[in-house]
Structure 1
């Protein structure tokens, strides 16, 4: 067997192939997917060929890196094209992103309308440029008396087509909750893919992107992908159901936020002097790979320059040493992470991405050390304030109106390795006198250097470093480590690309007593969170067989969480076994009612987790200096 990856397949292609199967073949589809995934494959240009057996081959033609049509999958078996092999190959392949829409940048010829894609956003398309300050007065004089205002028009609501698409997304998401991960096979996933495709056609990119995320995570869970986390699936499913519900019920600006934006708008930002911070590898669940370089302006705003396309970890490693796509600069991504850039005619998206339009000019400039202004100011903000800002950014259901990030800039002292349920992490203490922070690897991909570097740093106890990490919402301070200053004090390290050696580490200091471990998962909020995750893993029926949960409810209520107690009671009641009619036949399950109760519980547990995370960062702050 070879490890040739399958090309991504468009959602509508997979859905069509599954829908065209006979009921008998649909029952065999999951077994066919598992069998096909174990067969050898080879790539020849844009074509990937899978050996179904010794005499039969299946071909996937992917011009441009993705399979976009049903005819691009062909099988040589006697039952083709009505065989199960084509559908199985589509279900085994990653989900392809929609065709990219041109970015809306000033100075380009991109149309003003939104193009359909899976990119989610919530900012309205920029309107016409504002007039000079005295223009309204001149216009009023020329137009004469202002007519009396008429009755205000009612806020816009979703169209029937949008509500129908949202209903399909809701039903597909509720079906996942009904069956759980084990029952959400290829047929259930194809319903999600069809609903996502319909939502994209109805200009609902936010909901479509959420549905594709759920499919990707379901496949990771069912195949035993080591990177899979149930919490990620809970978050994605809650986003899908929540967005579908908002589309059906929202109006005005809230409806625009629920729809999202297919195209990332860019606005002019004049001239910028940018200072490189670091470069991180990007590997997505859809088989894409690349690099993202973070830079900072003199006023502290953070921006990114990225290059992500189909290719996985191999492409991520290669792109890091390619020139950035910005102006005429010849700097590579890794060079830009340590150098500077002078940009004129800069364009910036709401989430801080720098545009590369025809009017953008950029030249290389001198880099700045993390200990020198203006970068040094990033480390001067107290950790609790940085965590609060990152939580606000990461918990938004809509794209931020201005640039922001979930990055934290800390000065720490390394304390050593600490054991966790999910594996070892690096423990560090914020300086001066701040809380202890759990530092985890940003990615466990073996081709990247994250895990090896973390293991080496764990042996350098007592070392003081400046670090950059991404906030992980947890009941204790936790980050994924992205970059740090070199232990020798010379330069910085991109921990996904640069590899440390033992020769780079100073002699370890005397061992420091480790702080008490984080509280175990027996707290009252966890009782509700556990049931929320159990419903995703095993389906509604698993909660219906719990029986009397009054003991759990009482424990949550005694902990001072009456809302959580009420949600736990309602969730288990909605999962009660199906009743029978007078003839002994099972009545239909109330999947909508259970999905509503589950969504409310999931949103509550997410809010509690954010509150606990903020409280953890607030603890053990250094005392203010005496006046």
Structure 2
């Protein structure tokens, strides 16, 4: 996947790949690799790729997105039925398959439409899914199951296009959640196949779990469950009167689908969180530059970076269910004074116990954590060093929110590690797992508690550290921490192996031999049964009367894999909540100085 190319709508990629004859489909993956290695030149809304000295592929992307098959043109003799057009679409990021935003909302990448429904979307008042929705959900499940069957190594451009076609059909049937989940899987597969440094196997496994789970449950869902599984094409915005907001921090946005920008987080006097975003097609340069663009609310001249330290008075506000502020014509906003993190009213955000914040995040609420920690050093992990901190007696790992070298997240993390012993207030995003872990987003300045640092945008210097600060050595992961996750990793590694290698890696004789027995000895009987079922489904290949292998039952294997993945997610969330609650119960009582619940 090449970030130099503009995002292409899923329906366009599916149409171009479907039009290829079988002999060209077999060569499509090689064509994608060749085209991705060629230089791309952008001229306004047009991107030109030089296939060779005489042939160019041109992508016309008005508004930053390719929305029609005729917007991709090729100068070769076989055009328009050539391989190059399909290869260009398959090499580009996948665009959000929704109509273009209104001009007044273009800065929010089509995500801030107010009380509008997409044309052609059915009214979602039915108690059960319609026949068209059930058909679309089955198509998404079958296409995602085929990707899982092949794994990232075998899921080439043709299988990706099948999933994109199913995603487009799901959107037309009024299933935007299934559509978005399918697109995220294709994005993850392309990142894996292109060796994108931002690719994470765990993220792709979670995306596959989401799309398979949604498509599997939807045909049988009713009532509120059905509405949730259908999802919404656009966030509904409701009037919220007048608001007095205080800036908290600003974070960069950089997605694998080709969108970038900034989101500024604010809070009102009651602690409710609101966001102001500016996200559009772009790359790392836009992610860093958007922070210095004016906030698109009312006539205020505040930039996102300034708003994160200042305040905002809004009248006629419109707000989405997730707290995003609308930018409608009736909204008025002016600059107001901000507040320090340790002053009122923001101080109350850090007064909520950590365990309560984690419980809120695990149950579908806001996933931001407001914590006070003491920096203790770093710990080495496979994906890089993590900052170690003590949070009320709980060893907490703080990882970088972004790995892109254009953003200062990881460099800032290394410098903060040198401020060992410093007690800081931080804002982080919860990462569910058996060990307390979060992504570090913002922190107090190491030497000036009145200042704050947006770790994805501001760049710390050695001069910002306490005198004599030296970065500590990075120890390996302690053995006790590895042992704490050992039982579940026996199942998790098989689930992840299937994502990368497909069904065949679990079908080998002796694959995972003994893991089920070990899980049972450790008391994880359900995990053992799911692991055995996964291996059985992978190895199940029937033969016809002549002894020839029949096609594998991809649906059975996908359901067995989905059951194991959902079990892992559920258990890890329970372990995550338990780890934070254990820390809360072990924290010293302010009255006695002993752990809460301890005997006198």
Larger mean Cα displacement after TM superposition, 245-254 or 258-267: 245-254
Q: 2:370 aligned with 1:405, yes or no?
A: no
Structure 2 residues without counterparts, runs of 5 or longer:
106-111, 593-600
Per-residue Cα deviation, 1:89-108 (whole angstroms, up to 9, x for no partner): 000001111224669xxxx9
Per-residue Cα deviation, 1:563-597 (whole angstroms, up to 9, x for no partner): 11111111111111412122122122111111111
- Find 2:237's aligned residue among 258, 263, 266: 266
Map residues 39-78 of structure 1 onto 2, 5 A cutoff.
39-78=38-77
1:244 counterpart SS class:
helix
Shift of 1:523: 1.5
Q: 2:398 aligned with 1:436, yes or no?
A: no
RMSD: 2.3
Shift of 1:624: 2.0
Check conservation: 2:433, 2:573, Cα contact below 8 A: yes
Does the C-alpha gap of structure 1 residues 548 and 203 become closer, same or farther in structure 2, counting only changes over 3 Å? closer
Check conservation: 1:116, 1:205, Cα contact below 8 A: no
TM-score w.r.t. structure 1 length?
0.88
* Corresponding position of 2:598: none
Does the C-alpha gap of structure 1 residues 557 and 305 become closer, same or farther in structure 2, counting only changes over 3 Å? same
- Find 2:252's aligned residue among 268, 281, 285: 281
Does the C-alpha gap of structure 1 residues 184 and 548 become closer, same or farther in structure 2, counting only changes over 3 Å? closer
Q: Measure, in 1, the Cα distance between the counterparts of 2:429 and 2:247.
A: 17
* Corresponding position of 1:520: 482
2:147 counterpart SS class:
helix
Q: Measure, in 1, the Cα distance between the counterparts of 2:371 and 2:223.
A: 41
Shift of 1:243: 0.8
* Corresponding position of 1:148: none
Q: Measure, in 1, the Cα distance between the counterparts of 2:100 and 2:352.
A: 38
Q: 2:398 aligned with 1:427, yes or no?
A: no
1:235 counterpart SS class:
helix
* Corresponding position of 2:376: 415
- Find 1:545's aligned residue among 488, 493, 508: 508
Q: Measure, in 1, the Cα distance between the counterparts of 2:291 and 2:512.
A: 53
Check conservation: 1:200, 1:208, Cα contact below 8 A: yes
Q: Measure, in 2, the Cα distance between the counterparts of 1:378 and 1:116.
A: 42
Check conservation: 2:379, 2:474, Cα contact below 8 A: no
* Corresponding position of 1:624: 589
Does the C-alpha gap of structure 1 residues 250 and 604 become closer, same or farther in structure 2, counting only changes over 3 Å? same
Per-residue Cα deviation, 1:210-252 (whole angstroms, up to 9, x for no partner): 0000000000000111111111111111110111112211122
Does the C-alpha gap of structure 1 residues 362 and 572 become closer, same or farther in structure 2, counting only changes over 3 Å? same
Q: 2:321 aligned with 1:358, yes or no?
A: no
Q: Measure, in 2, the Cα distance between the counterparts of 1:496 and 1:422.
A: 18
Check conservation: 1:459, 1:508, Cα contact below 8 A: no
2:141 counterpart SS class:
helix
Shift of 1:625: 2.7
* Corresponding position of 2:406: 447
Does the C-alpha gap of structure 1 residues 440 and 112 become closer, same or farther in structure 2, counting only changes over 3 Å? closer
Per-residue Cα deviation, 1:311-358 (whole angstroms, up to 9, x for no partner): 111112221111111122111101100001111221111111011112
Shift of 1:427: 0.8
Q: Measure, in 2, the Cα distance between the counterparts of 1:327 and 1:546.
A: 65
- Find 2:460's aligned residue among 500, 511, 515: 500
Q: Measure, in 1, the Cα distance between the counterparts of 2:396 and 2:92.
A: 38
Per-residue Cα deviation, 1:263-315 (whole angstroms, up to 9, x for no partner): 21111222111110000000111111110000001111111000100011111
Q: Measure, in 1, the Cα distance between the counterparts of 2:404 and 2:140.
A: 32
Shift of 1:546: 3.9
Check conservation: 1:4, 1:42, Cα contact below 8 A: no
Q: Measure, in 2, the Cα distance between the counterparts of 1:69 and 1:423.
A: 41
Per-residue Cα deviation, 1:18-56 (whole angstroms, up to 9, x for no partner): 011111110100011001111122111111111101111
Map residues 519-598 of structure 1 onto 2, 5 A cutoff.
519-520=481-482, 523-547=486-510, 549=512, 551-598=514-561
1:424 counterpart SS class:
strand
- Find 2:180's aligned residue among 206, 209, 226: 209
Q: 2:321 aligned with 1:345, yes or no?
A: no
Per-residue Cα deviation, 1:124-174 (whole angstroms, up to 9, x for no partner): 98x9xxxxxxxxxxxxxxxxxxxxxxxxxxx72211111111111011011
Map residues 462-473 of structure 1 onto 2, 5 A cutoff.
462-473=421-432
Check conservation: 2:3, 2:93, Cα contact below 8 A: no
* Corresponding position of 2:16: 17
Does the C-alpha gap of structure 1 residues 352 and 270 become closer, same or farther in structure 2, counting only changes over 3 Å? same
Shift of 1:71: 1.1
Larger mean Cα displacement after TM superposition, 481-490 or 216-225: 481-490
* Corresponding position of 1:99: 99
Aligned length: 575
Q: Measure, in 1, the Cα distance between the counterparts of 2:381 and 2:79.
A: 50
Shift of 1:413: 1.2
1:48 counterpart SS class:
strand
Check conservation: 2:46, 2:58, Cα contact below 8 A: yes
- Find 1:367's aligned residue among 323, 329, 338: 338
Does the C-alpha gap of structure 1 residues 173 and 4 become closer, same or farther in structure 2, counting only changes over 3 Å? closer
* Corresponding position of 2:442: 483
Q: Measure, in 1, the Cα distance between the counterparts of 2:482 and 2:294.
A: 47
2:459 counterpart SS class:
coil
Larger mean Cα displacement after TM superposition, 3-12 or 71-80: 3-12
Larger mean Cα displacement after TM superposition, 210-219 or 414-423: 414-423
Q: Measure, in 1, the Cα distance between the counterparts of 2:289 and 2:566.
A: 39
Check conservation: 1:293, 1:305, Cα contact below 8 A: yes
Q: Measure, in 2, the Cα distance between the counterparts of 1:354 and 1:168.
A: 36
Does the C-alpha gap of structure 1 residues 178 and 516 become closer, same or farther in structure 2, counting only changes over 3 Å? closer
Map residues 131-210 of structure 1 onto 2, 5 A cutoff.
156-210=127-181
Q: Measure, in 1, the Cα distance between the counterparts of 2:16 and 2:135.
A: 23
Q: Measure, in 2, the Cα distance between the counterparts of 1:376 and 1:429.
A: 20
Q: Measure, in 2, the Cα distance between the counterparts of 1:480 and 1:513.
A: 18
Does the C-alpha gap of structure 1 residues 308 and 189 become closer, same or farther in structure 2, counting only changes over 3 Å? same
Structure 1 residues without counterparts, runs of 5 or longer:
118-123, 128-154, 394-403
Shift of 1:110: 6.3
Q: 2:6 aligned with 1:7, yes or no?
A: yes
Does the C-alpha gap of structure 1 residues 603 and 111 become closer, same or farther in structure 2, counting only changes over 3 Å? closer
Shift of 1:550: 5.6
Larger mean Cα displacement after TM superposition, 62-71 or 206-215: 62-71
1:481 counterpart SS class:
strand
